[in-house]
Structure 1
Amino acid sequence: MVLKGQFLERPALIPVGREVMEGVAHRGEARPPLLVLPPTPAEGGGMDHVIAAELAFAAATAGHPTLRFNYRGIAGSQGERGAGEALVEESGAALAVVLENAQAPTAAVAALHGSARVALGLRERHPGVAGLCLVSPREVSPRELTGLGRELLVVVGELDTTLSRAELARAVDAAGGTLEVVEGAGAHLHHALPLVGKIVRAWLKRLSGT
């Protein structure tokens, strides 16, 4: 039994080809649902990454359905670890599950670190992506963000110098999106996780139009 105020995610199975990836999902009535892409296998990432868990918690406690998962070859997910197009395929399979579970036409996608590249590929291929949130993005250039629109949110730590801050700000502004710089934080945002969750929760509210 789930008591008032408790947060309980349920196991989810995500078919991709002949294999199955593992995930955890949370129900909710608010829209859009949120799909969380963990850091890539090359980065050693998984659905239990602290930022992934924080985003799922923040979204779910605001009433949004959520799904976070492990790419193939990570933890209990079957198959071999992939990269590039393989990760886009896997995230597309996860997107299909979150849309089906929520009975929603579109979902928001939050991508951590190197999965920013995966999220861009997912958006190109799937009309079901309502908006992108890139947290401490890697493997992308700021100019690739220019056409993403006002549904774009980029969250970076003040001390994260991976991408040129000035170039990133210009690109996000040109897209009409939002750049949030977390004061005093590095790439992993460890001391500011509740703030990152609050930022993403506000972004989801904007996407919902409420």
Structure 2
Amino acid sequence: MVLKGQFLERSTLIPVGSEVMEGVAHRGDERPPLLVLPPRPEDGGGMDHVIGAELAFAAASAGHPTLRFNYRGVGGSQGERGSGEALLQDAGAALGVVLENAHSPAAAVAALHGSARVALELRAHHPEVAGLCLVSPRAVTARELAGLGRGLLVVVGELDTTLSRAELAEAVEAAGGELVVVEGAGAHFHHALPLVGKAVRTWLKMLSGK
């Protein structure tokens, strides 16, 4: 039994080709649902990454369905670790599951670190992506963000200098999105992690039109 106020994700299987990825999902009545892309396998990340867990908790506590998962070859997911097109296929399969589970025509996607590249490709191939949140983005240039629209949220730590802050701010402003800089935090948000969750809740509320 799940008591009021409890956060309980349920194990979920995500078919991709002849293989199956593992994930955890949380139900909710608000829309859009949130799909969390973990760091790429080459970055050493998985669905249990602390930032991904925080985003799922923040979204679920605001009533949004969530899904986070392991790419193939990571954790209990079948297959071999891939990159590029393989990660896009994995993300597309997970997107299909979160849409089906939530009975929703669109979903929000949050990507951690190097999965920013996967998220951009996912949006280019799937019009069901209603908005993108990029947390400490890697493997992309600020210029690539300029055309993403007002559904874009970028969250970076004040101490993270991977992307030029000036170029990043200019690109996000050009898109009509929002840039959140968390004071005193680095790329992994060991400091002030709840502020990342707060930014995502506000972003989801904006996407919902409420």
- Scaled by the length of structure 1, the TM-score of the pair is 1.00
State the superposition RMSD in angstroms: 0.4
Alignment partners' CA distance in 1, 2:15 and 2:207: 28
Match of 2:125 in 1: 125
Letter in 1 for 2:63: G
Alpha-carbon distance between aligned partners in 1 of 2:84 and 2:97, rounded to the nearest angstrom = 21
Aligned residues: 210
Amino acid across the alignment from 1:94: A
Stretches of structure 1 that go unaligned for 5 or more consecutive residues are none
What is the CA–CA distance in structure 2 between the aligned matches of 1:11 and 1:166, rounded to whole Å? Answer: 41
2:45: which partner in 1? Answer: 45
1:98-132 deviation digits (Å, cap 9, x = unpaired) = 00000000000000000000000000000110000
Per-residue CA distance 1:54-111 (angstroms, 9 max, x = gap)? 0000000100000000000001000000001110110000000000000000000000
2:66 counterpart of 1:66 = yes
Q: Distance in 2 between matches of 1:169 and 1:4?
A: 40
CA distance in 1, matches of 2:178, 2:127: 21
Q: Secondary structure at the match of 2:118?
A: helix
Query: Which residue of structure 1 lines up, in the alignment, with residue 77 of structure 2?
Result: 77
| 1:196 match | 196
| 1:191 shift after superposition | 1.6
Segments of 4+ moved more than 4 angstroms: none
1: distance between equivalents of 2:193 and 2:25?
A: 20
Aligned counterparts of 2:79 and 2:183: Cα–Cα separation in 1: 40
1:21-32 equivalent positions in 2, closer than 5 A? 21-32=21-32
